Each structure stands twice: as C-alpha cells, then as structure tokens.
Chain A
Amino acid sequence: MVERLLGSMTLGLSAKRLAALFILLFVVACTSREVVVEGAFPTPLIDPVPVSVGILFTQEFREHELIDDATGRGEVSWRVSTGSAQVDFWSTLFPAFFQNVVFINSYEDLETYDVDAVLIPEVSEVQYAIPLYTSVKVYEIWMRYQLSLVEPEQIMDADNKTINLENMQAFAEWPLTAYGKTPTAFMQSDVDAVNLAAVMALRDAGANFITSFARVPGVMDWIENPEVAQ
C-alpha cells in the first residue's frame, strides 16, 4: 500500500524513503497503543500484622505486561506494561501491612534475614476492555493474582545456593481479584484512560488484600503462631 502511494508521487529516492518512513510511522502509531502504567500510590492506613515477612517479586512479576495484538480491521494492538507499577505499589503496601518486611532478591537474603514466611505475589491474568469493543463508556482493567505464603526453607536450594520455586509447598495460597475503571468523559486519550484504570485496579487489589487477608485459610493460625507455619 505504501509502495503504491509513493509510486503516485513525483519524488526523489531519498525523499521517497523519508516519506515511506513517515507513512509507516503513521500507520504503526494509528494501530498500536503502548502504556507503561505509572501512578502515585498512598501508604495504607492500617495497624500492622505482627509478623516478619520476606517479599519475593519474581522476574515475571517485575516485568509483567499484557499484550493484545489486533486481529481485525479497525482494531488496535495494545501493550500494557504493569510490572514496574506492580512493584512500586506492593513495595508501598507490604511494609505498612506487616510489622517487619524484607525484600528478598537472592539466596543470601534468605540466609541472612530471619523471616516467619515468604510472600510471593504472581499476576495470573490481566484483562482490559475499552469502549470501542464494549459500547459502554468506560475503560476497564481486571487483574487476578495468585499469592503464596511459604516457609523460607521451602524455596532455598542449598545445593545450588539459589531460590527455587518449582517444588515449593505453600502453607497458604489464595487468588486475589481487582478491578479498575475510568469513564470516557474523564480522559483525553485511550492511553491515559487505560493507565488510570490500571492504577485504580492496583488500588483495588490493595484494598482487597488488606480486607481479606485475615480470612485466608491458614493465615490466622500462622499470625497467632508465626514461628510454626502450618
């Protein structure tokens, strides 16, 4: 298409190349949207749970992104990177929620710090909906997490001096859902609206985590006796 369009113009070779570049950039810009989720997250107002917890953000969690390629005419490809915002958000929430928090980055951290348990959050699914697809005038984001609480020894591979999550036996495992929305009337662009919906979904995830944590099977027993994980 670009070639045919350029053929109809009377241009020099370098001018044609430049025009082709501009047209391709225009086409790509019109058919894909990229959002790196950014936001400011408040520190929760809570009375901390009296336990010492190590937080392990996996590589997949830190780099999480939703990729949705356009499949039909008129559709737009989306790439929504939530990893950095996930780490920012949960790094603000966990230290306020638990009395002592250590961020685990290596096997040596697990050896050095004496924690009651290690909490591992994972993003299992992210979905989005925009007014173009739903005819409802809101941008929406759904997130589903899988959270695991394990004893530190469960993920320590002493032979290789590494962290190994493959055969871990969590003493508490639970799913966590979150939802965020932004009405079309509030936003100037799709990208801003999806970003705000994602920020709202993260805030909702935090609210859900805080209000449901004590109801997770196995958690209350652990809080009452953190030295002995169930």
Chain B
Amino acid sequence: MKVYRMVFLIGAASLGGCVTANVDEMTFDAPVAGMVDGSIVILGRRHAPDYDTEPDFIDCIGDQIRRGDERITVIPEPQFVDSLYPWFEPRTAPLSVENVGRLMILPSVANKLSELNLDYMIWIDGRTQDTNSSGSMTCGVGPTGAGCFGFGTWGTESEYEATIWNFNDGAEVGKMSALTSGQSYMPAVVVPIPIIAPVQDTACESLGTQLLQYLSAES
C-alpha cells in the first residue's frame, strides 16, 4: 500500500501543467564575436500604476545568461540601481536610450557607468498573472484525521518584453518578447496534489535563451 502511495505521489509531482510559449524577436547589430569582457545589466520596468516587473524574474534571466556564457558579467539589478541612485528609480529611469545620453552629462554618473564597463542595458517590462480559476475543494478535520476532496484549476499568463540598448553606440538594438500561458490543476482525494504549470519559468527560459543567443556568439 505504501509503495503504491509513493509511486502515485512521485508520478503526480513529476506532472506539470501544460504551457504554451510564443516568442518574438527583432534585433540587429549583434556582437559578431560575442561579448568578451564587458558587462550587462538587466533592469525591470517599475513605472506602471498597477504592476511592477518582478525582481525574481529579472534574477532568473540574469542567471540564465550567466549560466549560458560565463564570460558575460551580469551586474545584479539592486547593486546597479543603488550604485546609481537616484537615476534609475521609477520616477527618474530613462525611458529611451537618448535620455541616457542626458544622464551622461553628469560627471559622477558618467564616471560610474564607465567604471562598470557596461556594454548593454536590457530593460524587461511585463508580469505574470492568474487569469481565471474554477472548481471547488472541501477540507475537513475529524477524530480519525484530516483530508480534502475536490478539484481546482486556474490559468496563468506571462507577458514580457525585453528592450536592448547598446551602451557604446548609444542605440536601441533590439526587442524580444515572450508570451506564455498555461493551466494548473489541483485534484484532492484526501491529500491535495498541485500540478503547477511553470508559466513564468518558461517565459524566463525563452527570453533568457534569446538574449543569450544575441549576446554570445557561441550559443
């Protein structure tokens, strides 16, 4: 009995909800030999009234690029934003590459950016949100134990756009986007078993892979 239960749990845990991904790209002027010793920073847009691009999504993209090509230095977002405070706050962050040129007029900002040896600044705008949910579940506690019975399902959608600015040329060199969606399920017969669709992880992997291909000639 214990073996069956174990097999059932492992089987359920290995299941994931289905995810569909749609990736779009428009880039030019990719580094021909790949980046060698420069650095990049990936920043989330935070000026929309009802959402912020998630910091953990920005970390995920950075890790994806770092793992893919160890020669690329990815400056962590909080470190970059703090070291250039207050010029990359939601109120002051440049919305176009031309505005970065205006920032460079300030000697302290120009010196700091030169010290960071920054080649590319990548802005990510978007979010992940649950779209719909249905089903019902009842849980109870009795003298002989506790348990749940029922079924729940919900949809999740991620939509992110990456904009790449070449810092040396002072130009926008591309846009990439990832749109992923999936359905998660939670059947419960005594124990609820979540079958989660990795929607945000898929968006991170798709966008990270695209960025890596752009920045690294080896990929």
Residues of B in contact, count (CB < 8 Å): 22
Contact B91 A42 (CB under 8 A): no
In the complex, whether B25 has a CB less than 8 A from a CB of chain A is no
In the complex, what distance in Å separates the CA atom of A64 from the CA atom of B178? 45
Residues of A in contact, count (CB < 8 Å): 22
Contact A183 B52 (CB under 8 A): yes
Q: Which of B55, B91, B128 has the most CB of A within 10 A?
A: B91
Cβ contacts B3-39/A at 8 Å (1 or 0 each):
0000000000000000000000000000000000000
Contact A204 B106 (CB under 8 A): no
Q: Are A181 and B52 also in contact (CB < 8 A) when A44-B85, A203-B85, A203-B86 are?
A: yes
Q: Is the interface of A mostly helix, strand, loop or mixed?
A: mixed
Cβ contacts A128-151/B at 8 Å (1 or 0 each):
000000001110000000000000
* CB neighbors of A among B83-142 (8 A): 83-87, 89-92, 106-109, 112, 128-129
- Kindly identify which residue among B55, B85, B106 contacts A42, using a CB–CB cutoff of 8 Å: B85
Inter-chain contacts of A211 with B (CB < 8 A):
86, 91-92
Q: How far is the CB of B199 from chain A (nearest CB, A)?
A: 13
Inter-chain contacts of A208 with B (CB < 8 A):
91
In the complex, whether B149 has a CB less than 8 A from a CB of chain A is no
Contact A207 B86 (CB under 8 A): yes
In the complex, whether B82 has a CB less than 8 A from a CB of chain A is yes
Once A and B bind, how many residue pairs between them come within 8 Å at the CB atom? Answer: 54
In the complex, whether A46 has a CB less than 8 A from a CB of chain B is yes
In the complex, what distance in Å separates the CA atom of A46 from the CA atom of B83? 11
Contact A186 B54 (CB under 8 A): yes
Inter-chain contacts of A210 with B (CB < 8 A):
86
Contact A46 B54 (CB under 8 A): no
In the complex, what distance in Å separates the CA atom of A45 from the CA atom of B110? 10
Contact A185 B54 (CB under 8 A): yes
Q: How far is the CB of A11 from chain B (nearest CB, A)?
A: 22
In the complex, whether A60 has a CB less than 8 A from a CB of chain B is no
Q: How far is the CB of A139 from chain B (nearest CB, A)?
A: 11
In the complex, whether A206 has a CB less than 8 A from a CB of chain B is yes
In the complex, whether A43 has a CB less than 8 A from a CB of chain B is yes
In the complex, what distance in Å separates the CA atom of A210 from the CA atom of B92? 10
Contact A44 B55 (CB under 8 A): no
Q: Are A45 and B50 also in contact (CB < 8 A) when A186-B55, A208-B91 are?
A: no
Residue of A nearest to B107 (CB): A47
Cβ contacts B28-71/A at 8 Å (1 or 0 each):
00000000000000000000001110110000000000000000
* CB neighbors of B among A172-210 (8 A): 181-183, 185-186, 200, 203-204, 206-208, 210
Residue of A nearest to B106 (CB): A47
Sample of 8 more A-B contacts, CB < 8 Å, known A207-B89, A207-B91 = A42-B82, A42-B83, A45-B84, A46-B106, A46-B108, A200-B90, A203-B89, A204-B89
Binding site for B on A (CB under 8 A): 42-47, 136-138, 181-183, 185-186, 200, 203-204, 206-208, 210-211
A-B contact pairs, 9 of them (CB 8 A): A42-B83, A42-B85, A43-B85, A185-B129, A186-B52, A204-B89, A208-B91, A210-B86, A211-B86
